[in-house]
Structure 1
Amino acid sequence: MRLIKTILLGTALSLAALPALAKQDIIWWDFLSGGDGVRMKALIDAFNKEHPDIQIKGTTLEWGVPFYTKVRTASAVGEGPDVMTYHLSRAPLGLEEKVLSEITPKDLEDAGLKTGDFFDAPIKAATHDGKLYAVPFDIHALILYYNADMLKGSPYLDANGKLTGIKTLADFEAALAWLKGKGVPTPVTYQSGGDAGVWRVFYTLLSQQGGEFVTNGKVLDGDNAEKAAKVIDTMSRWREKGWAPEQAEYQASVALFSAGKSAFQLNGVWEVPTYKDLEKNGKLGFKWSAVEIPPFMGKRATWADSHAFAIPNEGAKTVSGEKRAAVMKVIGWMEKHAIGWADAGHIPAYKAVTESADYKALQPNATYATLAEAAAFDPQTRITGVASPAYDASLNIIAPAIQGYMSGADAVQQIKTELQGKLK
C-alpha cells in the first residue's frame, strides 16, 4: 500500500511539473450577417465548447469593399486575423495584393482534409498556378424561387406542386406572360438596381450560352460580345414587358417575392432560411420552393461563388507553427460540421456533408444541390469577383441598359472600353 501511495504521489508530482498546455486563441474575421451570421456564430460557439484548448475570437466586418480593404491594410502592417472568410471570386485580386498565404499539403493534413474531399469547381477557383490559397466552405449560387400558389392552374406546376415545363427562355417568358395576364404585378423579381444582383443574372445567362466574360486577356471578345448583348436585351425586355421590377434594390426585390407580388425570384441560396423562417412563423402566405435555374439559353450554368477559409499573408507575422496547426484544425472542424452551414441555404463544398442523409433531408436545398455540377464561377481575373470593376460595370452600365437607356450592343462596347485597360 505504501508503495502504491509512493507511486501515485510521484506521478502527481511529475504531472504537476509538466507545463500546462497553452491555449490557442484564434483571431477570426468574417463578413457574415443576417442568417449567415447567426449560423456561423452557432458553429463558432459549438467549436469553442468542444475545444477548450483552442478558442475562436470572432469579429464580423462589413461585407464587400470595406472588408477587403480592411484585410489588405491589416495584412500590410501585420495586424490581420489568424483566419478569415474570403470569396473565391476575389482570390485573383487577393493574390495580386499578396494577402493570401498558400494552404500547403501539410496544412490540409493538419485539418484532416484533402482536395479530393471537395467539389471540383470550388477547388479549381481556390487554386492558382498549382497552389491552393483557400479552403472552400460552400457553393452559393443563383437559384430560381417560385410561388407554387400563384402557378396553380398553369402548365408550369405538376400534380405534386413542383415546377415543371420550364426548360427554355421561351418557356420562362411564356410563364411570365401568363402570370402578368393573371394580374401578378411583377412576375419575376431580382435585384435589378444593384451591382451584385445584375451581375449574377447577367453572368448566368452569358454562361448558359457558353459565353466567356474574359478570354485570352480580352473582355467580351469575338462572339462573346453578341452573347452578352443578347443577355442585356433579354433583361431589358423583361423590364419593358412589366415582368421584372424597375431598379429594385436588394431588400425591395426580396420583399416583392415574400409579399406575394412576384411568382419567381432570381436570387442566391442564402435567402432560403428567410422563407423557411417566415413560413415557420406563419408569416408567409403561400407555398414555395426553389430549383436550379433551368438552361434558359442552352446549357446548364448558374453564377456561383464560394465562401472559403483563408489565412492572410503578413510577411514575418504570417501564422505558423502550432498556431497555424490550430487554425487548420478549426477549418477542418468547420468543414466536417458544415450541415449547420447548409441550413443557411448553402451547398457544402465538402462532399461528405452534401452526400449525407442529413443534407438530403433538407428541402429545397437537396433539390437544387445539382447545381454544384453547373456552377459558373467568375473568371480568375483582377477585374471580376465580389466588389470588383465588373460589379461597378454592372451597376453603371448594364443596369442602365436594362432600364432602356442604351441597347445591349452599346452597353457591351462601354463595358469593353471601361474594363479592358484594367486587365493590364
Structure 2
Amino acid sequence: MKKAHIGFMAVAAVASLALSACGGASTGGGASENSVVIDMWSGSEDDTAALNAQLAIAKEEHPELDITMRTAPWGDYFTKMTTNMASGNMACISGMNSGQLSGYTAGFQALSEADLKTAGLDAADFAPGALEILQNKGEMYGVPFDMSTMLVYYNADQLKAAGAKTPEIGWTFEDFEQTAKAATTKGKMGLGIGMGDFQWQALPISRAGVQPVTEDGTLDLTNPDFVKASEWYGDLVTVQKVAAPVASASDAGWGENQFSSANAAMAVDGTWNAVGYLNNDPGFEAGMAPLPAGKNGSLGLVLGSGFGLAKDCKNKDAALKVLGSLLGQKSQDYIATSGRSYPARLSSQPLYFETIDAKYRNQVKSTFEAAFENVQGQRVSDNWSKVGTFIQPNLVSVYNGQDTMAKVLDSAQQQFAK
C-alpha cells in the first residue's frame, strides 16, 4: 500500500556497491578543495534517477566543482554512516532523515544563518516549521528538501454506509469519537489502530498538545497530559472498542493495512502516502483530514529529510554552494513537479498539487495547508530509537488489555531517560 518516497524508503541493494566502493576514497568527503562528495540513500532506479537529476542541477550551477553522489539502500546507508563517522570519513554532504538525526548529530556541523547565506539560501524561502525538521536541541544540522506530517485518512464509502459523519478541517476529538463509533458496524471497525511511532503517537500528541520529549531533548513520556492522551488512545481498542487489537508485534503496519483493505474506516498515516490511499487497490472512495483538535487546538509534527554538512568537511564553502543547489529553486521545483514528495521550499509547493489528479486536488491542497498550519519539529531524546523499539511490541499487550499504556510509558521512561 505504501508508495516509495524519497524521504522514507528502502532501496535497491545494487546501490550499496557505489557507497562501499567510494567509502575510503577521501578524508572529509573531498580529495581537493574543488571536490564535493554527496552521500544519500535511494530506493529504486526511479529514486536514483531523481537524485541524479538534482545532481545535474548542482553540476550545471557549479561547473568549477567536481561533484559526485554515492547511494545505498536505507539500512545500509545508516550503517555506513556510523562507520564513516567513527573514521572521520563522512561525505561533505550527507542525507539525513528527521527520525534518525539524534543518533548522528555528532557527525554533522551545526548550520548558522551565515552558512545559509553562503549557500544562497534564505530561511524565509522555506515553509513555516520546515527548518525545524533537522534541528536537535535547538541546533540546525541540515536543511530539508521535503516535509510531511500525519493525517487521518478515511473510507468515504464505509462512512456513508454507516451514516457516520465525514472528517473535515476543523473537526474535534469529540467528532472523531462519534465517527469511529458510528463506523464500527457490520464487522467493520471505525479505526485501524497504529503500531509505528508516528502512527500511534500522532493522535495523543494532538489531543494533549504536547510531545513526549522536551525542547532540550529530555525524555518526557510520563508527562501527565501525554499519558492521559495515550491511555485514551489505547482505550479506543479496549474500552470504546472502535478498533481491533493487533495480532502480533510483527504487524508493524497494522492500522494502515486494516484501512487499505477496507476493514477499518479510518487510519492515521503520513502525507507521503496520500496518493497511494486515494488510488487504493480495493477501489473505495478515500479522503483525508488534518488531525482532530484537542482542547488546545491541533498539534502535529513536521517530518522530512534533507542534507547536512559533515563536521570534518575540509572544503566547507564549496559544500555549502552545492547544498544551495540541492535545495534551491530548480531542485525543489523538480521534486514538486515529479510528484515524488512535498517540497520544503514554499514557492515550489503549489507545483506539487498540480501533479494530483484533478478530482482530488482541492481536497489534498486544503488538507495539507490546514495540517501544516500548527506543526512542531519532532523532538527526540538521545535514546529515541531505543524507546520506539521498546514500546512497539508492548503496544500489542496494551491493545489486548494485558497491560496499560501508563505502565509501558513509565517503564520506557525509567529505562531510557538517561
Distance in 1 separating the partners of 2:128 and 2:98: 13
Residue 172 (structure 1) aligned with residue 176 (structure 2):
yes
Asked whether the equivalents of residues 198 and 395 of structure 1 are also in contact (C-alpha less than 8 Å), the reply is yes
Distance in 2 separating the partners of 1:318 and 1:211: 40
Distance in 1 separating the partners of 2:223 and 2:154: 36
Asked whether the equivalents of residues 305 and 378 of structure 1 are also in contact (C-alpha less than 8 Å), the reply is yes
Counterpart residue number, 1:335: 332
Shift of the 32–398 alpha-carbon distance from structure 1 to 2, 3 Å rule, reads: farther
> Match for 2:81 among 51, 57, 71?
71
Counterpart residue number, 2:192: 189
Residue 403 (structure 1) aligned with residue 407 (structure 2):
no
Counterpart residue number, 2:410: 413
Alignment of 1:85-234 (within 5 A): 85-95=95-105, 98-127=106-135, 131-156=139-164, 163-164=167-168, 167-184=171-188, 186-192=189-195, 197-215=196-214, 217=218, 219-221=220-222, 223-224=224-225, 226-234=227-235
Partner-residue secondary structure (3-state), 1:337: helix
Shift of the 287–55 alpha-carbon distance from structure 1 to 2, 3 Å rule, reads: farther
Q: How many angstroms does 1:212 deviate by?
A: 3.8
Distance in 1 separating the partners of 2:150 and 2:302: 7
Distance in 2 separating the partners of 1:211 and 1:131: 20
Alignment deviations for residues 323-348 of structure 1 (CA, whole Å, 9 cap, x no partner): 5423432332433433146x23x442
> Match for 1:30 among 27, 37, 40?
40
Alignment of 1:373-388 (within 5 A): 373-384=373-384, 388=385
Counterpart residue number, 1:310: 308
Asked whether the equivalents of residues 228 and 408 of structure 1 are also in contact (C-alpha less than 8 Å), the reply is no
CA RMSD in angstroms comes to: 3.6
Shift of the 61–145 alpha-carbon distance from structure 1 to 2, 3 Å rule, reads: same
TM-score when normalising by structure 2: 0.75
Partner-residue secondary structure (3-state), 2:367: helix
Alignment deviations for residues 127-153 of structure 1 (CA, whole Å, 9 cap, x no partner): 467653210222222111111111224
Structure 1 gaps of 5+ residues are: 1-21
Counterpart residue number, 1:4: none
Counterpart residue number, 1:14: none
Partner-residue secondary structure (3-state), 1:348: coil
Counterpart residue number, 1:368: 367
Amino acid at match of 2:71: T
Residue 261 (structure 1) aligned with residue 263 (structure 2):
yes
Shift of the 76–176 alpha-carbon distance from structure 1 to 2, 3 Å rule, reads: same
Q: How many angstroms does 1:100 deviate by?
A: 0.7
Shift of the 399–198 alpha-carbon distance from structure 1 to 2, 3 Å rule, reads: farther
Shift of the 175–229 alpha-carbon distance from structure 1 to 2, 3 Å rule, reads: closer
Number of aligned pairs?
373
Shift of the 242–220 alpha-carbon distance from structure 1 to 2, 3 Å rule, reads: closer
Alignment deviations for residues 119-172 of structure 1 (CA, whole Å, 9 cap, x no partner): 332323434676532102222221111111112245545xxxx64498333432
Distance in 2 separating the partners of 1:31 and 1:166: 37
Amino acid at match of 1:234: D
Shift of the 58–118 alpha-carbon distance from structure 1 to 2, 3 Å rule, reads: same
Asked whether the equivalents of residues 211 and 227 of structure 1 are also in contact (C-alpha less than 8 Å), the reply is no
Q: How many angstroms does 1:300 deviate by?
A: 0.3
Distance in 1 separating the partners of 2:318 and 2:223: 51
Larger Rg: 1
Distance in 2 separating the partners of 1:272 and 1:25: 39
Q: How many angstroms does 1:235 deviate by?
A: 4.5
Residue 359 (structure 1) aligned with residue 386 (structure 2):
no
Shift of the 358–45 alpha-carbon distance from structure 1 to 2, 3 Å rule, reads: closer
Partner-residue secondary structure (3-state), 1:189: coil
Distance in 2 separating the partners of 1:285 and 1:222: 42
Amino acid at match of 1:179: A
Partner-residue secondary structure (3-state), 2:74: coil
